[in-house]
């Protein structure tokens, strides 16, 4: 199964992609997580990406595409994957489509999690992320068992640098300008499925699983 997650920053792509990966035994691939891991390790890629991420801008397509194509060529992707945060531009979507077509494959679903902008800014201020295993929490909607500590791996949780209100607003603008056109793109490809992302997390999950199970 090959699934991509669409949605504004903070719509819940990472939260839901992790649950999809667990249920369907496929890898969860987040380009944002890959960039952040590189930054933590101090690689050249990480340093290059940071300049864009800190401002809420997109990392250039050539850099992003190379990383993604390399990642999906790994053995663990043989039976599919869930992409979170890729593609984010029409050119990225075209590259993915071509790469799949070369192998006689195609995407199964583009899950579009819909959340209005005003709900996003509040959500982001309460997000806490684990730099160790990329688990995502929210101080009100999904708190860890012990405040400030990851339930999964025990690392101290952090606030992402790009979650400051001004940066979030720019990320939303970039989303509407560059990424939202993908909704139309995937609708034409006949793989788009919209999900109401303002519901409680577990209800969003249930709606997505119903789609992926072919129930809906």
Catalytic residues, by residue number, are: 13, 88, 127, 160, 171
Nearest partner of 176 among 5, 63, 9, 3, judged by Cα: 9
Nearer to ligand AP5, 16 or 212 (CB): 16
Q: Which residues of 12-40 are buried (b: 16+ CB within 10 A; e: fewer)?
A: bbbbbbbbbbeebebbbbbbbbbbbebbe
Nearest partner of 136 among 113, 163, 116, judged by Cα: 163
Give least dist CB 4 to ligand AP5, A. Answer: 10
Nearer to ligand AP5, 109 or 137 (CB): 137
Nearest partner of 10 among 179, 185, 181, 193, judged by Cα: 179
The site map against Mg ion for 13-42 (x = CB under 5 A) is -x----------------------------
Give me the residues that bind ligand AP5 (CB under 6 A), please: 7, 9-15, 30-32, 35, 52-53, 56-59, 64, 85-86, 88, 92, 123, 126-127, 136-138, 141-142, 162, 171, 197, 199-201, 204
Give me the residues that bind Mg ion (CB under 5 A), please: 14
């Amino acid at each position: 199964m090959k699934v991509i997650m669409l949605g504004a920053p903070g719509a819940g792509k990472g939260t839901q992609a992790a649950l999809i990966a667990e249920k369907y035994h496929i890898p969860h691939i987040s380009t944002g997580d890959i960039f952040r891991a590189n930054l933590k390790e101090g690689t050249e890629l990480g340093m290059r990406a940071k300049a864009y991420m800190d401002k809420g801008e997109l990392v250039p397509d050539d850099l992003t595409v190379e990383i993604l194509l390399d990642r999906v060529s790994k053995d663990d992707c043989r039976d599919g994957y869930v992409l979170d945060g890729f593609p984010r531009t029409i050119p990225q979507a075209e590259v993915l489509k071509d790469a799949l077509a070369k192998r006689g494959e195609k995407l199964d679903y583009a899950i579009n999690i819909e959340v209005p902008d005003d709900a996003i800014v509040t959500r982001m201020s309460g997000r806490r992320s684990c730099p160790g295993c990329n688990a995502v929490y929210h101080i009100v909607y999904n708190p860890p068992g012990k405040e400030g500590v990851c339930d999964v791996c025990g690392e101290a949780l952090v606030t992402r640098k790009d979650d400051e209100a001004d940066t979030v607003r720019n990320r939303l603008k970039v989303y509407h300008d560059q990424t939202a056109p993908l909704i139309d793109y995937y609708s034409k490809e006949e793989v788009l499925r919209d999900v109401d992302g303002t519901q409680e997390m577990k209800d969003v999950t249930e709606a997505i699983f119903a789609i992926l199970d072919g129930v809906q």
